[in-house]
Structure 1
Amino acid sequence: MEHKAGDWRLIMGDSALCFSTMKNLDWNDLQSFLAVARGGGLTKAGAETGLSPATLGRRMLSLEEAVGRPLFHRSQTGYALTADGQSLLRRVLAMEASARPIAEWSGGKGQRPVVRISAGTWTANFFAENIFKLWSPDDPFRLAFKTTEAKLDIAHREIEIGIRNRAPDSPNLAARKTAVVAQAPFRARAHARPGEEEWLAIGREDAVTRSARWLNEQEDIQVAAWANTPRMLSDLIRAGVGKGILPCFAGDRDPLMERAGEPIEALEEGQWVVAHNDDRHRKEVRTVIDRITDLLTAHRALFAGERPLGME
Structure 2
Amino acid sequence: MKNVSWDDLRLFIGVARGGGLSAAAAEAGLSPATVGRRMLALEEAVGRPLFVRRQTGYALTPDGQALYRRAQAMEAAARPVEAWLAAEGSHPVVRISAGSWTANFFAENFSRLWTAQDNFRIAFKTTEARLDLAHREAEIGIRNRIPDSPNLAARRTVEVAFAPFRARNHPPGDGWVAIAPEDASTHSARWVNAQAGIAIMAWANTPRTLYDLVRAGVGKTVLPCFAGDRDPLLERAGPEIVELREHQWIVMHNDDRHRPEVRAVIERIARLVADHAPLFAGERPLGAG
Give the structure-1-normalised TM-score: 0.76
User: Does structure 2 retain, via aligned residues, the 8 Å contact 1:141–1:284?
Assistant: yes
User: Does structure 1 retain, via aligned residues, the 8 Å contact 2:177–2:200?
Assistant: yes
Give the root-mean-square deviation of aligned CA atoms: 3.3
Per the alignment, in what secondary structure is the counterpart of residue 107 of structure 1? helix
1-side partners of 2:185 and 2:159: how far apart? 19
Q: Partner amino acid for 1:225? A: A
User: Does structure 2 retain, via aligned residues, the 8 Å contact 1:90–1:156?
Assistant: no
- Of 203, 218, 228, 1:241 maps to 218
Cα–Cα, structure 1 residues 98 and 310, in superposed 2: closer, same or farther, change >3 Å? same
User: Does structure 2 retain, via aligned residues, the 8 Å contact 1:180–1:304?
Assistant: yes
Which deviates further from its counterpart, 159-168 or 43-52?
43-52
Q: Partner amino acid for 1:243? A: K
Alignment of 1:96-115 (within 5 A): 96-115=75-94
1-side partners of 2:35 and 2:181: how far apart? 34
Q: How far off its partner does 1:297 sit?
A: 1.5
User: Does structure 2 retain, via aligned residues, the 8 Å contact 1:154–1:161?
Assistant: yes
Per the alignment, in what secondary structure is the counterpart of residue 89 of structure 2? coil
Alignment of 1:10-89 (within 5 A): 29-39=5-15, 48=28, 72-73=48-49, 77=53, 80=60, 89=68
Q: Which residue in the other structure is 1:153 paired with?
A: 132
Alignment of 1:1-312 (within 5 A): 29-39=5-15, 48=28, 72-73=48-49, 77=53, 80=60, 89-193=68-172, 196-311=173-288
Greater CA radius of gyration, 1 or 2?
Answer: 1
In the TM superposition, what whole-angstrom CA distance separates every residue of 1:119-151 from its partner, at most 9, and x where no partner exists? 111101100100000001110000111111111
Q: How far off its partner does 1:226 sit?
A: 2.1
Q: Which residue in the other structure is 1:15 paired with?
A: none
Segments of structure 2 that go 5 or more residues without pairing to the other structure are: none
Cα–Cα, structure 1 residues 220 and 294, in superposed 2: closer, same or farther, change >3 Å? same
2-side partners of 1:152 and 1:117: how far apart? 10
2-side partners of 1:223 and 1:54: how far apart? 36
Q: How far off its partner does 1:105 sit?
A: 2.9
Segments of structure 1 that go 5 or more residues without pairing to the other structure are: 1-25, 65-69
User: Does structure 2 retain, via aligned residues, the 8 Å contact 1:33–1:60?
Assistant: no
Give the structure-2-normalised TM-score: 0.82
1-side partners of 2:221 and 2:147: how far apart? 29
Q: How far off its partner does 1:251 sit?
A: 0.7
Q: Partner amino acid for 2:262? A: V
Cα–Cα, structure 1 residues 141 and 307, in superposed 2: closer, same or farther, change >3 Å? same
